[in-house]
Chain A
Amino acid sequence: MYSIIRSIWLTFLHAFHKRETVLYPEEKPYLPPRYRGRIILSRDPDGKERCVACNLCAAACPVDCISLQSAEDDDGRRYPEFFRINFSRCIFCGFCEEACPTYAIQLIPDFEMGEYNRQNMVYEKEHLLIDGQGKYHGYNYYRQAGVDMGVKGKGEGENEEPPVDIKSLLT
């Protein structure tokens, strides 16, 4: 009985407390850099698309809202021919960013993407691709990989020996 009255009283006292609500459009909250908002595709330090169209983001996506097709340029470099995110389905879980082996797909602290027409929630590559490196600077996947796709030759990568000369016997 006492506890009931006490809790009524304590609740009543909250009338004189400061309110927690942030009055959003007038007053913007601080969003940390790792906030999971709108998804973007970044570029590597050379200014080329980071995405190598490996399909891992699409596979990781729990609502299957990412769709892409890979293609190759003249150097054999892989890139997405199209890259589509259906934001009307996206739940901003960030699994795609976690799955991305090249830091290409990133979630950024922007969530103001409401639309009156649902069709406008479908973002194609030109809507997604930004000009910078996003959160992760200095990483270039093709310098780490073993393939020669126009960025570095065989054996010129950061962690590679020069190519083996198979015609020599003893080395």
Chain B
Amino acid sequence: MKNIVPGGRMIKIEINGKYYEVKAEKNLLEVSLSLGINIPHFCYHAALGSVGACRLCAVKKYRNASDTKGRLIMSCMEPVTEGLILRTEESDVIKFRAAVLESLMINHPHDCPVCDEGGECHLQDMTVMTGHNYRSYNFKKRTYTNQNLGPFIHHEMNRCIQCYRCVRFYKEYAGGKDFDVFASHDHVYFGRHEDGILDSEFSGNLVEVCPTGVFTDKTLKSHFTRKWDLTNAPSVCVHCSVGCNTIAGERYGILRRIMSRYNGSVNGYFLCDRGRFGYEFVNHENRLKKVKIRLSKNENPVVAENDQLQVSLNSALSDNKRIIGIGSPRASLEANYALMNLVGTENFYHGISKSDYELTKTALHILQNGPAHSPSLKEIENADVVFILGEDLTQTAPMIALAVRQAARNIPLQAGEKTGIPRWHDAAQRDRTQDIKSPIFVANPYQTKLDELSREPYHASINEIAKLGFAVAAQINDNATSVKDVDTRQYMLASEIAVALKNAKNPVIISGIHCGNKEMLHAAANIAFALEALQIKSSLCLVVPESNSMGLGMIGGKSLEDAYRRIEQGEADTLVILENDLYRRAEKEIVDEVFQKCKHVIVLDHLMNDTASKADILIPVGSFAESEGTIVSNEGRAQRYYKVFPSEKSVPESWRMIGEMIKIVRDQIDHPWKNFDQVAKEMGDDIPEFSVIHQKMPGNGFRILNEKITRQPLRFSGRTANSAHIAVNEPKLPQDHDSPLAFSMEGSNEVPPSSLVPFYWTPGWNSAQSINFYLDEPNGSMKGGDPGIRLIEANKNAKVSFFEPDITDIEQKPGEFWIIPVYRIFGSEELSSKAKAVAERIPEPYVLMNEKDIAGSDKNENGSANINISGKEIFVKIKIDPDIPLGIAGLTVNLPGMPFLNLPCSGKIKFASGNSNNQKPGRP
């Protein structure tokens, strides 16, 4: 093991008669895959490392030119050595692999026709690749019973080939607790200890990690389509601010599934379950498909045709005092910009509350003007010390939580490397590591799943956590002001954290605006700034709530409260609301009154919601699957999603529809933008921060060898029959003038630029593993750089100026609780909670309380409580959290059925006795 040279040294080796320079710290399989050489493998996964369990990646190694015999080795377990000679296609190697595969196939059932993995199955690929084609084992096949693993994952244990990838991902990589391998010898079983819902937020990745069909996508199963039949488009997840890259697949007008699209800087190989299974809102029965117009107030809206829409829009947009446009953090930059163009900058309102906007703006200000770097997920993964302040990452930005879990391994991995165990040698590294973790510090009012990584999880009120933050900053750098009343525990903890951070190479500070406290952001910023002042390269990751919150912050505009005020005062009477449910952002009474005062309410959205139901003119617009757009992640990475469906006339893209309205307002004949590129360009011209997007993203004129990029794989079937029941004459293919992608299987088969990859396929590799051939090396970057354009860079020249702590005491009334928001991965986000599978996972609304706080009342784990916040009552279940501070209660927010509550605030809690099932939780 002396040959392992950490740190980027290159070594010369020979593979199949050709000489290559390869990285010294890699193993032979990784090296071969990154050179595009096919070596069959199962148990190796780039993100999980090597364990050498399947024996399929056998190759022949010769020590040097004088070695004529060579020996069979497992390429995933063999480090690269100078002058080594490798043969991957010798006859004994081929025979060996075929034999290994045959034994793996002994018990594999004859399931392919009804198996959802068929057509993108790693086992199928490997069977073809190794040449095994006839089962010579004459005995019966072993069988297992399946488990019901909840609404996301379908379990079919018979198909298992015991590669252990699932446990390695679920338990070791993602930190799941309820999944394991059971029994012994050839009876091993992968599953839960009993039937039940998989608890991990990353269970969906089992679908992609499993090389056969043991774990398949249950949502896809209900409308199953083979991989080769999907029309795909590169997309970006819209369900949180992380901006994971996805591949969305469509057939027969239904969005069929979401797969992870590799982005080495963001999500890598994986996705969280909200991102993977939240897509079904696109197919929801409440999807708006037709224009609805209220012909007069107090009447129900009726379905209208296009010419009637023109008439109504004409009257609404001309007969008014002033038009107010309300944007949205879940709409694309371009759609928001188009709206701003329609109403004018002074009438553009960003569609979030003043306090939320201030928090977003603060976060932006810290990242843009401060010296701290905004890290990508990859950089968080590579951190050696992480400090999380007041953000429950698993629920608000799950993929960041997954990255933190990897960061927790960095210190032990480095230590392992020093003892001669290479990083990729997963089993050995884990054996050596045992329970050692990198220093991770978590401070949050209530328990979070990441607490288990933390040396000493700190649970206190938000203000106390902010104080801790300021104290840490002050201990790192004397120039940072500390707060006065720091208690002993905070002081001790602060010094521990400060020491760890000061000794770190890649410290990452993570906080966010979900707690609703600006001081928390300042405290986090102070820590990062303090480290920068000591010349320690620090990263500061600030989590924002929605997919385009950052982008909206950069566009600017005024708050919802301002808009309401203007309408109350009668300055404006017409509202254009873009993809925004105002009832999620303010109390019902306020919004109701605003709508009452308005003469015309024009709503553009994709799903029926409370705001849409109040619209006088309700215009359906395309969701992320029917439209293109750019959104900015919390990292500041602008990424573009593209249409999966050809846009229908009745469901246009938001920017196109708003363009139609501009035509009416300006009384011009031509649409202001011929295609999406023109909006993007004009946006760049008007808002200089965004000009780089248009300059760097491939525009609709982009071609590879004069051809567009195909959305459909070569084997796409049924072209002459798909619409034959409507008309036997084949219609012209839908054209896409807004992107370089084509709704066809005809076009370029070259590898497209990384941001435009609609699906992964390499000859011989139909499964998700083909991804490795699109990367510069396994687990590396996409060829030609990872997708996305970073709009936020740290201001390295800025003089470090610390924020002064300004912690105001909370206005907790006596006898009341201070109620803070608790976000849930399933339910708190608007769109994904409409998805059928996700809806099944949404918990009943509950309140987190300390056991001692409910002492005296009817203490019951299953008890329930009446929460009264400024007169508004809701009825929820009680959940005990032993660590939440006394006097503080955490209430789930934004779950379906819950009214808007302006948290955090003070509120009364009355305990209902025992099991009062007569009242439905969540209802006032």
Asked if the two chains touch in their complex, CB atoms less than 8 Å apart, one says yes
Give me the interface of A with B, judged by CB distance under 8 Å: 52-56, 58-59, 61, 63-70, 72, 78, 84-86, 88-89, 101-102, 118-119, 121-122, 124, 141, 144-149, 154-155, 157, 159-164, 166-169, 171
- Return chain A residues, CB-CB under 8 Å to B111: 145-147
Query: Distance (Å) between the CB of B74 and the closest chain A CB?
Result: 28
- Return chain A residues, CB-CB under 8 Å to B113: 52, 54, 56, 78, 101-102, 141, 145
Contact of B718 (CB < 8 Å), options: A66, A121, A145, A155: A66
Q: Bound state CA distance, A141 and B119, in angstroms?
A: 19
Q: Bound state CA distance, A75 and B567, in angstroms?
A: 57
Contact of A67 (CB < 8 Å), options: B159, B717, B729: B717
A-contacting residues, B142-162, CB 8 Å: 142-146, 156, 158-159
Contact of B112 (CB < 8 Å), options: A58, A70, A101: A101
Q: Bound state CA distance, A169 and B110, in angstroms?
A: 28
A66-B717, A66-B721, A124-B725 known; A58 and B142 CB under 8 Å? no
A166 & B118 in contact (Cβ 8 Å cutoff): no
A-contacting residues, B167-193, CB 8 Å: 182-184, 187, 189
B183 & A146 in contact (Cβ 8 Å cutoff): no
A64 & B717 in contact (Cβ 8 Å cutoff): yes
A70-B224, A160-B140 known; A55 and B717 CB under 8 Å? yes
Q: Bound state CA distance, A61 and B228, in angstroms?
A: 13
Give the interface SS of chain A, mostly helix, strand, loop or mixed.
Answer: loop
Contact of B143 (CB < 8 Å), options: A56, A66, A141, A161: A161
B109 within 8 A of A: yes
Q: Bound state CA distance, A68 and B715, in angstroms?
A: 15
A-contacting residues, B211-261, CB 8 Å: 221-226, 228-229, 252
Contact of B114 (CB < 8 Å), options: A88, A145, A155: A145
- Return chain A residues, CB-CB under 8 Å to B109: 145-147
Q: Bound state CA distance, A52 and B226, in angstroms?
A: 13
Q: Mark B710-741, 1 if CB is under 8 A from A, else 0.
A: 00000111111110110111000000000000
Query: Distance (Å) between the CB of A159 and the closest chain B CB?
Result: 6
B141 within 8 A of A: yes
Residue with the highest number of chain A CB atoms closer than 10 Å, among B110, B114, B719: B114
- Return chain B residues, CB-CB under 8 Å to A85: 721
A59 & B189 in contact (Cβ 8 Å cutoff): no
- Return chain A residues, CB-CB under 8 Å to B187: 164, 166, 171
A84 & B728 in contact (Cβ 8 Å cutoff): no
Give me the interface of B with A, judged by CB distance under 8 Å: 109-115, 118-119, 140-146, 156, 158-159, 182-184, 187, 189, 221-226, 228-229, 252, 715-722, 724-725, 727-729
Given contacts A147-B115, A147-B156, 4 further A-B contacts (CB under 8 A): A59-B229, A65-B720, A145-B109, A163-B143
Chain A residue at minimum C-beta to C-beta distance from B182: A166
B229 & A55 in contact (Cβ 8 Å cutoff): yes
- Return chain A residues, CB-CB under 8 Å to B110: 144-146
- Return chain A residues, CB-CB under 8 Å to B716: 64
6 contacts between A and B (CB under 8 A): A64-B720, A70-B225, A154-B158, A159-B141, A163-B145, A171-B187
A65 & B721 in contact (Cβ 8 Å cutoff): yes
Q: Bound state CA distance, A155 and B226, in angstroms?
A: 27
Contact of B728 (CB < 8 Å), options: A101, A121, A145, A164: A121
B717 & A61 in contact (Cβ 8 Å cutoff): yes
- Return chain A residues, CB-CB under 8 Å to B717: 55, 58-59, 61, 64, 66-67
- Return chain A residues, CB-CB under 8 Å to B226: 55, 59
A54-B113, A146-B111 known; A67 and B722 CB under 8 Å? yes
Chain B residue at minimum C-beta to C-beta distance from A70: B224
Contact of B144 (CB < 8 Å), options: A84, A124, A164: A164
Q: Bound state CA distance, A54 and B109, in angstroms?
A: 15
Q: Bound state CA distance, A52 and B224, in angstroms?
A: 12
Chain A residue at minimum C-beta to C-beta distance from B154: A76
Query: Distance (Å) between the CB of A74 and the closest chain B CB?
Result: 13
- Return chain B residues, CB-CB under 8 Å to A149: 114
Contact of A63 (CB < 8 Å), options: B118, B159, B182, B720: B720
A58 & B728 in contact (Cβ 8 Å cutoff): no
Residue with the highest number of chain A CB atoms closer than 10 Å, among B143, B221, B228, B719: B143
B721 & A166 in contact (Cβ 8 Å cutoff): no
Query: Distance (Å) between the CB of A168 and the closest chain B CB?
Result: 8
- Return chain A residues, CB-CB under 8 Å to B146: 148, 154
Query: Distance (Å) between the CB of B710 and the closest chain A CB?
Result: 15
